[in-house]
Structure 1
Amino acid sequence: MSPGGDQYGTYRHPSAPSNGSPAQAASGRRGTPSALVRPYAMTGGRTRPSHQLAIEALVSTAVDVAQARGLSPEAYRICVLCREVRSVAEISALLAVPLGVARILVADLAETGLVVVQQPQGDEADGGRPHVTLLEKVLNGLRRLA
């Protein structure tokens, strides 16, 4: 347990109330019965996506969001979020889930055709890595933020 009483590795479901202890929320005594959703529950126990997705890969919804209504809450939210093009990193942050979980969920949605993923193109001569110019621009942008 951490000093605040939360267990490490436990993520609060975005729709869960923030008051009460994790044990109360998990038992259903306060808030919704599924107030705490562990990452492995969201991914069905999988730890790797079916195909690799870069954190900067761009994701957009490929179909009408109404077709995603029968999916898990996280998968549905990804479809809603991706009506505007978003990166895998943005999806992870907006859903408040670990990056690995977001990658697995996005890969699943891509396999079903609900989202389209555009992987970044690296320079083939560099083994698919991003070009130095791009990395310099990112670094300069980060320095301006600091």
Structure 2
Amino acid sequence: MSVLDSDDEHWFDEAAGRLIRPYTVSGGRTEPTTRMELLSMVIATGHRPQGLLGTEHAQALGLCRSVTTVAEVAARLRLPAVVTKILLSDLVDWGAVDTRAPDPMADPTNLTVLETILNALERRI
């Protein structure tokens, strides 16, 4: 199942990718308000922000229904990591998502950890 709704299909082309610039999604912002790493864990709190969520925010929130990493959300949304961090930090600010620092045992230079993450991403995409 694609994270892109049928309403969003006109913004995405399988061969070309996203038809809008990624930084349009973040409103031109380049820094998230919450510090997180690619391996930071994110999960939805069950709190729904007031007002209407933008498409990308809603998709990111949907991906956080179970514990996942920032890297996985970025891959599933097909967005750069920094843009994904901005979307997720908005959700944190609104109380819709909680983050947790990566497990100290998850050394990002450990090849076993990197292979495990890569395999998990390949299975989901």
TM-score (norm 1): 0.61
Q: Number of residue pairs matched? A: 111
Q: Which secondary structure state, in structure 1, belongs to the residue aligned with residue 72 of structure 2? A: helix
Change (3 A) 1:120 1:41: same
Runs of 4+ in structure 1 off by over 6 angstroms are none
What is the identity percentage for the equivalent residue pairs of Structure 1 and Structure 2?
A: 29
Aligned equivalents of 1:70, 1:122: Cα separation in 2 = 36
In structure 2, the partner of 1:87 is 69
TM-score (norm 2): 0.70
Change (3 A) 1:50 1:140: closer
CA deviation profile, 1:57-92 (whole Å, cap 9, x unmatched): 111110155x57711101011111111111000000
Alpha-carbon offset, residue 41 of structure 1: 1.3
Q: Structure 2 unaligned runs (5+)?
A: 120-125
Higher strand share: 2
Aligned equivalents of 1:78, 1:140: Cα separation in 2 = 24
Higher relative contact order (CA 8 A, sep 6+): 2
- Which amino acid counterpart does residue 92 of structure 1 have in structure 2? A
Residue 47 (1) aligns with residue 23 (2)? no
Report if aligned partners of 1:61, 1:116 keep a CA contact under 8 Å in 2: yes
